[in-house]
Every structure is written in C-alpha cells, then in structure tokens.
Structure 1
Amino acid sequence: MAAIVLFDGECNFCDASVQFIIKRDPKGYFQFAAQQSDIGETLKHQYKVPNSMDSIIVIDQHKVYYSSDAALHISKHLNGLWSYLYMLKATPKPLRDVAYKFIAKNRYAWFGKKDSCMIPPPEIRKRFL
C-alpha cells in the first residue's frame, strides 16, 4: 500500500519538493495529489483535515501526518542519507513545527506561486492521483 502526499499544487516550493521526493523514492512508496484537486479535497474531507491546515499532508496506512511530522515521515522512506533526517523526530514537535511553519508561511514570497497545478511527465504520471 502506497502512502499519499497531499501538496499545495500552486506552490513552486511544494512542486520542487514533490520532484525531490520522486527522485529519491524509486520504489514508488509515495503517490501524490494536489490539495486543490478533486481527489485532494475528497481525501482531506475523508480524513477530517481542518481547512486551516497550511501544511503538506501525508496519509499512510490510514494515519494522517501534518507539518514536520509529515516531512519526517517522508524522509524515513527516501533513499540515501535522507532517511537519517527521521532522527530529528527526537526533537520536540513544537520546535520542529516552528521551523516548518516559518518556511510554510513564507513559501509563496520566497519561491512564488503557480496559476495551476503541474502536469507530471508521462513516466511518473501514474504516481499522481
């Protein structure tokens, strides 16, 4: 069973993050959906994700991860040294989330915003819901 990453489809940083994950996840553990898509909206409703949630969201084995927990859960499944980032889980969540929320709050200003979601290339399109 694959985990699902719900990302902000209008965010350039989020798009780059999805591409980063894809390159380091050759087994295809993760599938992806933009939060703004029909499937993204359905999953957010199904898993009772608050509308105010301004975070990447990971759904894995019917458990939902937000903010720094989501980012660390992703890192745990990536190839190479990236999986060692999961050790940051030992850092208290409030501290991790402060850093995460700072980046999330500024992502549009720093990296820009798209008018629409990306269209993935054919070789990875099957990983998008």
Structure 2
Amino acid sequence: MGRVNSLVVFIDGDCGFCQWASGILRRISAEDLAIYAQSTDLCRSYQEKIPDARWSLATVQVISDGRLYIKSAAISEVLKHAKWPFLPLRVLFVLPERLLDWMYDFVAKHRYFFNGKNACQINSQE
C-alpha cells in the first residue's frame, strides 16, 4: 500500500476547504501523516481491507492502527497525535459525540461556501 504512515487521512478533496483543512492537519500532526483524496486507488484498497458501511458517511476518514474513524472521531484521532501547541484542542472533544458530529456535518455540508470548489490538489502538496 505504499509507504507506511502512522495516520492515513482520506479527504473528499474536491473543494478549497478540504485543501485548506489538509494543510492544517499536516501542521497539527506530530506523526507521519499521509493525506489522500477519497477518489484514489489507495482509498479503495483500504475500503476493501477494512470493510465498513461508514466509509460513505463522511468527507474525512482516518485510518489509525488499522481502525477507521469518521466525522468528529477522525478529527479527534488526529488530535491524539498532535504536536504540543495543538494538544489543548483535544479539550473540545469532551463535548458529546452527537454534538461534535452535528458540527462536523454542518461544516461538511457548507464546505463549498467556506472556500469554494476547486480541483483537488491534495496529492500535489506532498
């Protein structure tokens, strides 16, 4: 499956917001973080390796230690591996998961508004 990473992130990748968010995730993470668009063959190979109906439920998925995380749990998983200045952001995840997922869904639904729709450039950032 290519190089080994502690965290593998798959992002929708069809909008400027996703591109902006991928840059933020790279800066936050203390681990070797790989970010790919969901349209890649690598994503499809992970979907076969980790069969889970939740793959289609989110604009971001995180694979960590062979487990799939989606929505707010995906962001929380990245923050578990954050560099020191970003560790205090984990306090947000004491909120109920239902509320965090609602906020995630709101941002995901309106992501084109936040930063426009552009061609995905996630892989060109590596």
User: TM-score normalised by the shorter chain: which range applies?
Assistant: 0.7 to 0.9
Tell whether the 8 Å contact from 1:73 to 1:86 is kept in structure 2 after alignment.
no
- Range 4-13 or range 77-86, more displaced: 77-86
2:88 to 80, 84, 106: 84
- Report percent identity of matched pairs: 25
TM-score, length basis structure 2: 0.81
CA RMSD after TM alignment = 2.0
Counterpart check, 1:11 vs 2:15:
yes
Q: Deviations over 1:28-53 (max 9, x none)?
A: 42112210111112213322243532
In 1, distance between residues paired with 2:115 and 2:51? 29
Give the count of matched residue pairs: 121
Tell whether the 8 Å contact from 2:62 to 2:74 is kept in structure 1 after alignment.
yes
Could you list the runs of 5+ residues in structure 1 that have no partner in the other structure? none
TM-score, length basis structure 1: 0.80
1:31 to 30, 34, 51: 34
Q: Deviations over 1:6-57 (max 9, x none)?
A: 11121211111111122233x5421122101111122133222435323311
Give runs of aligned pairs for residues 1-129 of structure 1, distance below 5 A.
2-25=6-29, 27-50=30-53, 52-121=56-125, 125=126
* Per-residue deviation, 1:94: 0.4
Considering fraction of residues, name the structure with more helix.
2
